[in-house]
Amino acid sequence: MSQFNRRNFLKALAVAAPASVLHVPNARAASKARVVVVGGGFGGATAAKYLKMMSPTLDVTLVEKNKIYTSCPLSNEVISGHGNIKDLEIGYDGLKKRGINVVFDEAGTIDPVKKTVALKGGKTLAYDALVLSPGIDFNYGGVEGYTQELAEGDLPHAYKAGPQTLKLQKQLMAMPDGGVFVITVPPGPFRCPPGPYERASQVAAYLKGHGKTKSKVLILDSNDSFSKKGLFEQAWKLHYPGMIEWIPGASDGKVVKIDPKTRTAYTNFGEHKADVLNVIPPHHAGNIAKNAGLTNEKGWSPVDMLTMESTVHKDIWVVGDSCVHGDLPVYAAPKSAHSAVTQAKVAVGAIIAKLNGQPAPVPYFVNTCYSIAAPDWGFSVVHVYRVDNGKLVYVQDAGGISVIDTPSITTLRRLEAEYAIGWLRNIMADSFA
């Protein structure tokens, strides 16, 4: 019996048979089901792990290009020398031990009708359910003069942690006192909304810590506001007076072109010469999702808000930075590791329920995102969502940013700087161990 027929048969059975009769064949069908997960970042690793944890007899395959994953969260702290990139790296042995087939390959063509994923290595995987967590890819053309070759060469964006992170760190270390470190911010949405501003803070922390206080960090922004703005500006004023300047889009902050030779960033009406030029190019859903036709006109994958299943193709669930999710348009879920992990857990619940011919369970989405602006100076933003009348809504009584003005500010900021690190240790274990 083909997959399709067997599933229809089970659905028919579910309607016709009394509950006590159908559980055994149903469970057996689900147990044989093949789930393929593409992308071994926070979202994909969590999906693979929780699928196996929640339903141990499932056949789960994780497809990932790299043997070692490097966490983007806390990678800005590597640029400043406050963190070590080794602490951000993790392999896939933990997932293998759980009985997940980990295939180091790249996903090529996805056929949503035949339900197959062709791998670049030549293999083709058939699936009953497919989880896509391909993260982001860059639109280098969004900033004229910037290219992938430059990113991998002298002008790292360092917006995927790894060798580029270390290269940017070296450029910062080599920058003379009085130099200008320019960070260009693409139009939203982009991964890690507070990322560019945390990076500016960490660069300033390095400069201050090394007595290079005549230097400047210039943020050239395509946008008119940013995540945790009040908290960052408070930290900048306190820790790095006069060192960080933010130019919003409305004040001609949007960089449209660069000259890599002279390290000059051009806005519509102005130009800024940099000693270190850190271009963060605009991005979109990972190419795997894009090539599978799962993205909208803005380049992101729309999903059912309650299950994470693609609204374009059935039996494909898209989680993590690639998807558009949240109580849109006001409270879109930020593209964070924490969002990806909770989305993955919801997708797992929905997949197992669907394979068992059951309705998807009530989903729980939450996001916690820490930023470290200076040593012992961390803060966070929290998002909590709930289902109300079948719709996903942002819980306005909860969530929000850390308190800005409080007598307990020193303790509060110190705790959250510490929690940022504890958070990373636990979320890495939750996803990969």
Partner 1 sequence: MRYRALCGMLLAGFMCTSHAADPIEALANTCNNCHGVDGVSVGPNMPSIGGLPEAYLKNIMLEWKSGARFSATMGRLIKGYSDEQIAALAKHFASKPWVPAAQKTDAKLVALGKKVTARCAGCHGETGNAGDGETPNLNGQWSQYLQLEAVKYRDDAVAMPSRPMRNAAKKLSDEEVKAVAEFYASQK
Distance CA 404, CA 389 (A): 34
- Give me the 43-82 binding string for partner 1, x by CB under 8 A, dash otherwise: -------x--xxxx--------------------------
Residue 130, classed as helix, strand or coil, is strand
Using the contact rule CB under 8 A, the part of the chain among 130-138, 280-288, 322-330, 401-409 near partner 1 is 401-409
Work out whether 362 is an interface residue with partner 1 (CB under 8 A). Answer: yes
91 is a contact residue toward partner 1 (CB under 8 A):
no
Candidates 100-108, 133-141, 326-334, 396-404 — which segment interacts with partner 1 by CB under 8 A? 396-404
Assign 3-class secondary structure to 193-206. CCHHHHHHHHHHHH
Residue spans of alpha helices (H) in 240-336: 287-291
Interaction of residue 341 with partner 1, rule CB under 8 A: yes
Q: Which of 13, 17, 173, 366 binds partner 1 (CB under 8 A)?
A: 366
C-beta closer to partner 1: residue 240 or 423? 423
**In terms of DSSP bridges, do strands 34-38 and 216-221 run parallel, antiparallel, or are they unpaired?**
unpaired
Residue 223's alpha-carbon distances to 81, 190, 268, in angstroms, are 28, 11, 14
State how far Cα 14 lies from the chain centre. Answer: 38
24 binds partner 1 (CB under 8 A): yes
Does 414 help bind partner 1 (rule: CB under 8 A)?
yes
DSSP letter string, 34-97:
EEEEE--SHHHHHHHHHHHHHSTTSEEEEEES-SSEE-STT-HHHHTTSS-GGGGEE-SHHHHH
- 8 A C-beta contact, residue 323 and residue 336: no
Shorter beta-carbon distance to partner 1: residue 76 or 356: 356
Minimum CB distance to partner 1, residue 387 (Å): 12
Q: Does 395 bind partner 1 (CB under 8 A)?
A: yes
Cα–Cα distances in Å, from 400 out to 29, 197, 363, 377, 381? 43, 18, 20, 18, 5
Task: State which of residues 17, 118, 382, 387 lies at the interface with partner 1 (CB under 8 A).
Answer: 382
Q: Which of residues 135-174 bind partner 1 (CB under 8 A)?
A: none
Q: Which two tokens stand for residue 166?
A: 């270390």
27 near partner 1, rule: CB under 8 A: yes
Least distance to partner 1 from the beta carbon of 343, Å?
11
Binding mask 241-280 for partner 1 (x = CB under 8 A): ----------------------------------------
Q: What value does the CA radius of gyration of the chain take, rounded to a whole number of Å?
A: 23
Q: Which residues form the interface with partner 1 (CB under 8 A)?
A: 20, 23-24, 26-27, 50, 53-56, 338, 341-342, 345-346, 349, 352-353, 356, 358, 361-366, 368, 380, 382, 384-386, 395, 397-400, 402, 406-408, 410-412, 414-416, 418-419, 421-427, 429-430, 433
